[in-house]
Amino acid sequence: MSYQHLTISSDKTNASIASIGHIAHIAHIELDYHGKSANLLSQAMIAELQSAFDELEAQEGLAGVIIYSAKPSGFVFGADITEFETLSNSHDVRALQKAAMVMLDRIADSHLVSVALVHGPALGGGLELALACDYRLCRKGGRIMAGFPEANLGLMPGFAGTARAARLIGARQTLDMCLSAKPLTTQSALIEAGLADGLFASEDGLAEAMNFIAKGKRAFGEFCDRDAWEAIIATAKQAHLDGRIEAHIPHLAAIITHFEMAGPDYQALVDGELIHFPRLMLDEVSANLRRVFALTDRVKKQARGDSAISHVQVVGAGAMGADIAIYLCLKGLHVYLTDVNEAALAKAYQRAQAYFERKCDAARARQALARFTCGLMPDNAVLIDLVIEAAPEKLPLKQALWQELEALHGPDCLFATNSSALDLDEIAGKMTAPNRLMGLHFFNPATVMPLIEVIHRPVNEPADCERLMQFAGQIGKLPIKVQNSPGFLVNRALLPYIFAAIEAHINGTDADEIDEALLLYGMPMGPLELADQIGLDICFDVGARLGMPGEVKDYLNAKITAQDLGRKTGAGIYRWDGKKADRMRGTYEAQKAQALAAHLLAPLRRACYDCVAEGHVAHADFADAGMIFGTGYPRHTGGPLHSHKG
C-alpha cells in the first residue's frame, strides 16, 4: 500500500538485529505529513496509521515497531484543528474520536512492541500517539515539549488521553497537565514524570529503541484508590475553579467533572471523553478560543522573515525604555541604552542585572548582560540597525531627540518611536527626512505583554515597515500594523472605555460595582482600577489628544491638582495600599452587572469598529487581536467585534 503522510521500512534494522538474538525483525514508521512543516494527527494521518498497523501485523517475524518523525520541527504537534471547524454535531465529533481511539488502541494492543522516538513538540493528539506506544524515548540534548494544551482551545484530550496518561503517570499529574495546559519542556521533567522512559543519543535511535523492544510489552500498575482520587480532585477544584466564573471556563469545569464521574477506572475515563469532548467542541467558548488561536497564528505569519536587525539603540532609560532594552537582550539582541541622565542609566543596568539573574540560569544571565550596554547621549552608536525612542510623552522633547538622532545614524538605520498616543507626523516634523520615522508601541510591562503596534504612515517605505513587522516576530511579539492616527488602535479604544467608567462613577455608580461588573465579564482588571494603575495624569494627557467628556476632564483635573494620581501617589479613584487598591470587592446583582458592562464596553467596541472602517487597521480580526493581546480583552468572547456581530 502507498502512503502520503508516512513511510514504512524495515531494512535499516537488518545489520543490528544480531545484537538481540531473539528479535527477528523490527519495522519503522516515519511520520512525514505531506505539504506541511509539522506533523499533525489529522483524519488522513489516523487512517494511514491504522492501515500501517494492519500491514505490519500481517507480516511474519516482526517483533517491534519504532515510530518517529521525519520533520526537524518535532514529533507531532497535535490534531489538525482546522478539521474541527467542519464538525457541526456531536455525532461527527464522536466519529472522529472513535476513529482515533481505534487506531491508538491498535498500536497499544498490538503484539508488536512499540517505541516512540520523540523530539520537539509532542502535544495533544501527538502526545496521545506517543502514549499509545509501549515506550517513549526523548532525543538527548534536543528540544522537547510534551503536554495537553487542549484547554487553550476550550477543550480536553479526546482520544483516550486522560485514561492513558492517568494509568501511566497518575491522576494528579494528568489533571494538572490538562488544567494548566502547560507542557513539560525538559527531558529530565518527562523522565521524572514517567512520560518518557529514557533518552536516545544515536542519530536514528535504533540501538536504544531495540533495548526497549527486547523488554517486551509494557505492564501497567493499578490506579490509586477512590479516596486518594477524590482528594486529588478536591485539590484541583480549589486550584483551578475557586474564585473563577464557570461560564468563562466551562472546559476546566468539564475536565474536573470528567475525572470526578469516571473515578479511578480506565474504561470509564475513555467513555467519559466521548461524552464531554463533543459538548466542549460545540460550545461557543471553545469556538471563540479556537478563533483566538487562529488569530494568533495569522498575526505571527505577518511577522515571518529576516529583519536583519541585531543591534538596537534604545533612547530613554526610564521604566519603559529599560524594560524594552532588557527584553531585547533576553531575546539575543545587542542593545545600547542611552539617556542624558547617568543615574537613570545606572538604575536601568541594575534592573537588567536583577532581571536576568531572576529569569535565567547563571550562564545565560551573563550572556544577556554582556549584550546590554549603556551610554550618555549624544554618543554615536555604531553598527546600530534600529533606534527605538522611549522618551517621556512630551512632543518638543521627542522632536529635539529625533533631530539629534537623525544626524548620528546612517540612512540604513530604522527609526521608531515608542510613543503611545502622539502624532508621528508631529514628532517627525523637524527631521530632515521625516519619512524615516515609524512607531513601535510596546505595552507595559514590555517584558510581559505580547502585543506591539507597528505604526506606519503613507510616507514610510513599505519595506521598512515590513522589517519592523519581522523584527517584532523575531523577538517573539505579536505585531498589529496600525496607521498613524490619534491613539492608534488600543489607546483609541481603551481610553473611551475608561472615561465611560469614570463618567458612570461621577453620576453615582459605586466604583467597586463598576469594576466588579467588568471582572464578571472577564476583563483582567476593572476600568477604574486600571485608570489608577496607568495614572490619572496620563489618562488626562491622552484624553486631551483623543477627546473626553467635559465632566471627566473636570474630575481628572481636580485629582491632578490634589496630586491624587492613582497607585503611584497612594490615592486616585481608590486609596492604595502598596500594589493593592482599597476597595470592597463586593457581590452585585448579575443582570445589572451585565447591563453595566455592556454599556461601558460600547465605546470601546465603537472605536474598534471606527479604526477598521477608516482603514487604520486592515481587518476586524486584527482589531480583535489587538484588544485581546494588548488589553487582556477576554479570549472566551473572541474579541470585542466578534462578540457583538450583528
Q: Which of 205, 163, 190 shows the shortest CA–CA distance to 67?
A: 205
Residues 358, 495: one domain? no
What is the predicted pLDDT for the residue at 60? 85
Q: How far apart are CA 161 and CA 128, in angstroms?
A: 5
Taking 70 as the threshold, does the pLDDT of residue 14 lie above it?
no
Across residues 334-354, what is the average pLDDT?
95
Q: How far apart are CA 607 and CA 603, in angstroms?
A: 6
Q: What SS3 class is residue 284?
A: helix
What does the chain come to in residues? 646
Of 238, 259, 281, the residue at which a domain comes to its end is 281
Average pLDDT, the chain: 94
Residues 410, 548: one domain? no
Q: Is residue 38 domain-resident?
A: yes
Asked if 502 and 225 touch (Cβ cutoff 8 Å), the reply is no
Identify the residue whose cell numbers are 529503541.
209
Across residues 345-357, what is the average pLDDT?
96
Taking 70 as the threshold, does the pLDDT of residue 489 lie above it?
yes
Q: Is residue 103 domain-resident?
A: yes
Q: How far apart are CA 259 and CA 261, in angstroms?
A: 6
Overall number of domains in the chain: 3
> How much of the chain exceeds pLDDT 90, in percent?
92
Of 476, 504, 530, the residue at which a domain comes to its end is 476
Catalytic entry in 441, 456, 616, 636:
441
- Of 162-166, 209-213, 514-518, which gets the smallest average pLDDT? 209-213
Q: How far apart are CA 493 and CA 612, in angstroms?
A: 12
Locate 484 and state its grid cell. 498613524
Q: Is residue 55 domain-resident?
A: yes
pLDDT band at 19 (very low <50, low <70, confident <90, very high): very low
Asked if 453 and 441 touch (Cβ cutoff 8 Å), the reply is yes
Taking 80 as the threshold, does the pLDDT of residue 15 lie above it?
no
441 catalytic residue (yes or no): yes
Q: What SS3 class is residue 481?
A: strand
Residues 211, 66: one domain? yes
Question: Per-residue pLDDT tens for 546-557?
Answer: 999 999 999 999
Q: Is residue 303 domain-resident?
A: no
91 catalytic residue (yes or no): no
Identify the residue whose cell numbers are 543615574.
343
Taking 80 as the threshold, does the pLDDT of residue 518 lie above it?
yes
Residues 273, 326: one domain? no
What is the predicted pLDDT for the residue at 376? 82
When comparing pLDDT for 493 and 25, which is higher? Answer: 493
CA distances from 533 to 152, 536, 539, 571, 632 (A): 28, 8, 10, 10, 15
Taking 60 as the threshold, does the pLDDT of residue 20 lie above it?
no
For residue 364, count other CB atoms closer than 10 A to its CB.
12
CATH number at residue 427: 3.40.50.720
pTM exceeds 0.85 for this model: yes
Across residues 242-258, what is the average pLDDT?
95
Residues 586, 559: one domain? yes
Please, how many CA atoms are within 13 Å of residue 200, restricted to the half-sphere of its CB? 24
Q: Is residue 513 domain-resident?
A: yes
pLDDT band at 380 (very low <50, low <70, confident <90, very high): low
Q: How far apart are CA 8 and CA 28, in angstroms?
A: 6
Locate 372 and state its grid cell. 546590554
pLDDT band at 378 (very low <50, low <70, confident <90, very high): low
Residues 388, 534: one domain? no
Catalytic entry in 288, 307, 420, 485:
420
What is the predicted pLDDT for the residue at 25? 85
Taking 60 as the threshold, does the pLDDT of residue 244 lie above it?
yes
Question: Per-residue pLDDT tens for 55-110?
Answer: 999 988 888 999 999 999 999 999 999 999 999 999 999 999 999 999 999 999 99
- Per the structure, the complete domain to which residue 435 belongs is given by 311-476
Residues 412, 501: one domain? no
Q: Is residue 297 domain-resident?
A: no
Taking 80 as the threshold, does the pLDDT of residue 10 lie above it?
no
> For 162, phi and psi rounded to 5 degrees?
-65, -35
What is the predicted pLDDT for the residue at 644? 81
Q: How far apart are CA 616 and CA 160, in angstroms?
A: 47
Across residues 581-604, what is the average pLDDT?
96
Catalytic entry in 128, 150, 491, 505:
491
Question: What residues contact residue 64 under an 8 Å CB cut-off, 6+ apart?
Answer: 23, 26, 27, 112, 113, 114, 115, 209, 210, 213
Of 260, 281, 302, the residue at which a domain comes to its end is 281
Neighbour-count burial for 342-361, b at 16+ CB within 10 Å, e otherwise: eebbebbbebbeebbeeeee
Residues 546, 571: one domain? yes
CATH number at residue 573: 1.10.1040.50
What is the predicted pLDDT for the residue at 21? 42
Across residues 289-302, what is the average pLDDT?
96
420 catalytic residue (yes or no): yes
Q: List strand residue ranges (DSSP E) for 345-390, in order.
A: 372-376, 386-389
Residues 273, 350: one domain? no
What is the predicted pLDDT for the residue at 299? 97
CATH number at residue 72: 3.90.226.10
Catalytic entry in 48, 389, 406, 453:
453
Residues 164, 50: one domain? yes
- Of 196-205, 379-388, 459-468, 586-595, which gets the smallest average pLDDT? 379-388
Q: Is residue 399 domain-resident?
A: yes
Q: How far apart are CA 255 and CA 277, in angstroms?
A: 9
Asked if 291 and 622 touch (Cβ cutoff 8 Å), the reply is no
pLDDT band at 413 (very low <50, low <70, confident <90, very high): very high
Residues 162, 252: one domain? yes
Taking 80 as the threshold, does the pLDDT of residue 283 lie above it?
yes
Taking 50 as the threshold, does the pLDDT of residue 399 lie above it?
yes
Q: Is residue 289 domain-resident?
A: no
pLDDT band at 381 (very low <50, low <70, confident <90, very high): low
Residues 55, 195: one domain? yes
Across residues 368-388, what is the average pLDDT?
85
What is the predicted pLDDT for the residue at 383? 84
